[in-house]
Amino acid sequence: MSAITNTELLQRRYNVMGKSSPLFYEKPLHLVRGEGVWLYDNDGRKYLDVYNNVPHVGHCNPRVVEALYKQASTLNIHTRYLHDNIVEYIERLTTTFDDGLSMAMLTCTGSEANELALRMARFYTGNQGIIVTDFAYHGNTEAVAELGTGFMPEAKHTKRVKSFSIPDSYRGISGVAESDLADAYAAQVQQAIDEFEAEGINVAGMLVCPDFANEGLLTVPKGFLEKAVAMVRKAGGVMIADEVQAGFGRSGAHFWAHQWYDLTPDIVTMGKPMGNGHPLAGVIARADMIEAFSKEAMYFNTFGGTPVSCAVGMAVLDALQEDRLMENAVSTGAYVTAGLRKLQDKYPLIGDVRDLGMFFGVELVTDRATKVPAIIESRRIINLMRERGVLISTIGVTDSILKLRPPMPFQPEHADLLIATLDDVLEIVSREMAG
Among residues 231 and 290, whose Cβ is nearest to its own copies? 290
Single residue of 123, 170, 335, 347 touching its own copies by CB under 8 A = 123
- Per CB under 8 A, the segment of 25-33, 204-212, 350-358, 422-430 that binds its own copies is 25-33
Which residues, 6 or more positions from 154, have their beta carbon under 8 angstroms from its beta carbon? 142, 145, 146, 148
- Per CB under 8 A, the segment of 23-31, 204-212, 228-236, 350-358 that binds its own copies is 23-31
4 binds its own copies (CB under 8 A): yes
Which residues, 6 or more positions from 97, have their beta carbon under 8 angstroms from its beta carbon? 256, 268, 284
- Per CB under 8 A, the segment of 180-188, 230-238, 249-257, 291-299 that binds its own copies is 291-299
Among residues 15 and 370, whose Cβ is nearest to its own copies? 15
Closest-CA residue to 328 (of 403, 406, 409): 409
383 binds its own copies (CB under 8 A): no
Interactions with its own copies, residue window 354-373 (CB under 8 A): none
Which residues, 6 or more positions from 419, have their beta carbon under 8 angstroms from its beta carbon? 336, 339, 340, 342, 343
- Per CB under 8 A, the segment of 164-172, 218-226, 290-298, 413-421 that binds its own copies is 290-298
Distance from C-alpha of 51 to C-alpha of 392, rounded to nearest angstrom? 5
- Are 330 and 357 in contact by the 8 Å Cβ rule? The answer is yes
Among residues 141 and 430, whose Cβ is nearest to its own copies? 141
375 burial class (0-12, 13-18, 19+ CB within 10 angstroms)?
Answer: middle
Single residue of 28, 341, 413, 432 touching its own copies by CB under 8 A = 28
What x/- string results for residues 148 through 187 when contact with its own copies is judged by CB under 8 A?
A: ---xxxx---------------------------------
User: Residue 369 to residues 170, 251, 348, 350: CA-CA distances in angstroms?
Assistant: 12, 30, 10, 12
What x/- string results for residues 91 through 120 when contact with its own copies is judged by CB under 8 A?
A: x--x-------xxxx-xxxxxx--xx-xx-
Interactions with its own copies, residue window 416-435 (CB under 8 A): none
Single residue of 43, 297, 322, 324 touching its own copies by CB under 8 A = 297
Single residue of 169, 301, 383, 398 touching its own copies by CB under 8 A = 301
12 binds its own copies (CB under 8 A): yes
Among residues 166 and 308, whose Cβ is nearest to its own copies? 308
Single residue of 26, 43, 142, 413 touching its own copies by CB under 8 A = 142
User: Residue 170 to residues 177, 247, 399, 400: CA-CA distances in angstroms?
Assistant: 12, 24, 16, 14
Distance from C-alpha of 426 to C-alpha of 342, rounded to nearest angstrom? 12
296 binds its own copies (CB under 8 A): yes
- Per CB under 8 A, the segment of 137-145, 233-241, 400-408, 416-424 that binds its own copies is 137-145
Interactions with its own copies, residue window 204-243 (CB under 8 A): none
Among residues 68 and 314, whose Cβ is nearest to its own copies? 68
- Are 337 and 315 in contact by the 8 Å Cβ rule? The answer is no
Closest-CA residue to 64 (of 290, 266, 325): 325
44 binds its own copies (CB under 8 A): no
Single residue of 127, 309, 332, 394 touching its own copies by CB under 8 A = 309
Number of residues that bind its own copies (CB under 8 A): 99
Distance from C-alpha of 401 to C-alpha of 421, rounded to nearest angstrom? 17
Among residues 140 and 430, whose Cβ is nearest to its own copies? 140
Collapsed DSSP state (helix, strand, coil) of residue 47: strand
Distance from C-alpha of 233 to C-alpha of 422, rounded to nearest angstrom? 44
- Residue 79 identity (one-letter amino acid): T
Single residue of 223, 253, 299, 411 touching its own copies by CB under 8 A = 299
Which residues, 6 or more positions from 235, have their beta carbon under 8 angstroms from its beta carbon? 193, 197, 202, 203
Burial 219-228, CB ≥16 within 10 A → b, else e: bbbeebbebb
Beta bridge partners of 308: none
Interactions with its own copies, residue window 54-93 (CB under 8 A): 54-55, 59-60, 62, 65, 68-69, 72-84, 86-87, 90-91
